[in-house]
């Protein structure tokens, strides 16, 4: 029987808070801070204990890229503050290159959800599900966790 590596476990962990965040966002249009804190804590703990090859520079630079993305989308695309905090936390786990590739998949998922919302006559929709779907795509498509 083959077990998951530390890297795979670290990358699978954010799924739990992201599923919770998406569900709450759909119901209330708010994302609990606890979801972002859990993901951020995973990145920081990985750096402290050297899990999965995560280093401090990866956590800090990934968080900085997530912050930049979050600020741009918060001000330009009217993304919510909770969504922006999730991007920062995910950046701390994924590192600078990972958060950029994730942002691509998140944008694709957000575009699909936007089209569905327009079809239903909605002009505003929760973006938490797009973040979750983008993360799932990032995990499993080209060279993702399934490839490992």
Backbone angles phi and psi of 25, in degrees to 5 = -60, -40
Taking residues 10-27, report their average pLDDT: 96
Of 7, 113, 20, 100, which Cα lies nearest the Cα of 53?
Answer: 7
Task: Please report whether residue 146 resides in a domain.
Answer: no
Task: Please report whether residue 6 resides in a domain.
Answer: no
CB 100 within 8 A of CB 48: no
Mean pLDDT of the chain: 91
Taking residues 39-68, report their average pLDDT: 93
Task: Please report whether residue 85 resides in a domain.
Answer: yes
Q: Strand, helix or coil at 3?
A: coil
The pLDDT-based confidence of 148 (bands split at 50, 70, 90) is: very low
Task: Please report whether residue 79 resides in a domain.
Answer: yes
pLDDT value at 142 more than 80: no
Task: Please report whether residue 91 resides in a domain.
Answer: yes
Burial class (CB in 10 A: 0-12, 13-18, 19+), 142: exposed
When divided into structural domains, the chain yields a total of 1
State pLDDT tens for residues 65-83: 999 999 999 999 889 999 9
CB 14 within 8 A of CB 128: no
The string of DSSP letters for 72-87 reads HHHHHS---HHHHHHH
Task: Please report whether residue 71 resides in a domain.
Answer: yes
Taking residues 35-43, report their average pLDDT: 97
Task: Please report whether residue 123 resides in a domain.
Answer: yes
Domain that holds residue 43: 14-140
């Amino acid at each position: 029987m083959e077990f998951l590596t530390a890297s795979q476990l670290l990358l699978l962990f954010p799924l739990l808070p992201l599923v919770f965040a998406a569900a709450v966002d759909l119901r209330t249009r708010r994302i609990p801070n606890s979801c972002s804190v859990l993901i951020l804590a995973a990145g920081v703990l990985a750096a402290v204990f050297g899990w999965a090859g995560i280093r401090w520079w990866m956590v800090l630079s990934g968080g900085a890229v997530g912050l930049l993305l979050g600020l741009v989308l918060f001000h330009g695309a009217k993304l919510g503050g909770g969504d922006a905090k999730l991007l920062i936390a995910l950046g701390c786990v994924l590192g600078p290159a990972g958060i950029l590739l994730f942002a691509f998949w998140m944008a694709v998922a957000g575009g699909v959800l936007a089209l569905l919302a327009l079809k239903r006559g909605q002009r505003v929709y929760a973006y938490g599900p797009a973040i979750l779907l983008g993360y799932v795509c990032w995990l499993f498509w080209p060279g993702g966790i399934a490839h490992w």
